[in-house]
Amino acid sequence: MTCQICDAKSGFYPLCKNCNILKDSGKITKCGECGIWKEGNKPLCYECWLKNNKKTEKKSSNYKPSEIEKEETNFRTKFKATIRAEDGHMVRSRAEKMIDDWLYHKGIVHAYERRVPIEEEVYCDFFIPIGQKVWIEFWGLEEEKYLKRKEIKKQFYKKYGKHLIELNSKDIENLDDILPIKLRPFLPPTFSFD
């Protein structure tokens, strides 16, 4: 595993020895919302602060949620997360469990259903905070409404310059072949899949 702050090797820990010393002196702290280690002693990392700030801005009297925001809420309500992955995450499908378990066994720090730090309220399937931050979406349905939602979400990722990895049902059958190739450009150069 690599250090979440400086990308140095850190064994099985999120911080290397040097960053752990900085943590003890209060120069590195954990974000109170997303739990990712960050430099400084402010309660939130920049992305969570920005997200919360934008939430406040949105609450103006003339703000109207977009169609995708309404659809996200409906989707998350309709399909409850009832399947437990090996790391304890509750996920919505067998395929998401396989992705979560694969990331867990490879020692890749990840979050499930993290809000994407953009103005619109959009949630990704998986978020990987190490290296270049990357968002993973598993597109598992072929219904017309779902495909429309998929295209709108992809436009948001592109609009805000977020790194997106897309997986489909065929990819799930070959995660050991597919995910290392798709993840390699975004992980620290010292990261090993072994």
71 shares a domain with 17: no
Q: Computed over its alpha carbons, how large is the radius of gyration of the chain?
A: 17
Q: What share of the chain is helix, strand, coil (3-state, %, to 5)?
A: 40, 15, 45
Final residue before a domain boundary, out of 63, 84, 110:
63
Band (pLDDT 50/70/90 cuts) for residue 39 is confident
Q: Which domain holds residue 129?
A: 65-194
136 shares a domain with 53: no
3 shares a domain with 89: no
Six token digits for residue 24: 């003890």
CA distance 25 to 18: 11
CATH number at residue 144: 3.40.960.10
Q: What mean pLDDT is reported for the chain? A: 83
Tell me the C-alpha to C-alpha distance, in Å, between residue 13 and each of 8, 10, 19, 96: 11, 5, 11, 25
- Number of separate domains in the chain: 2
163 shares a domain with 93: yes
24 shares a domain with 72: no
* Structure confidence at residue 72 (pLDDT): 60
Six token digits for residue 34: 């997303």
* Kind and range of the H or E run holding 28: strand 28-30
Tell me the C-alpha to C-alpha distance, in Å, between residue 149 and each of 46, 76, 92, 154: 28, 13, 17, 9
Phi, psi of 37 (to 5 degrees): -70, 145
50 shares a domain with 81: no
> What is the mean pLDDT of the segment spanning 4-25?
83
Specify whether the CB–CB gap between 2 and 130 falls below 8 A.
Answer: yes
Query: pLDDT for 55-95, tens place per residue?
Result: 555 545 565 666 666 666 566 666 678 899 999 899 989 99
> What is the mean pLDDT of the segment spanning 91-101?
94
1 shares a domain with 91: no
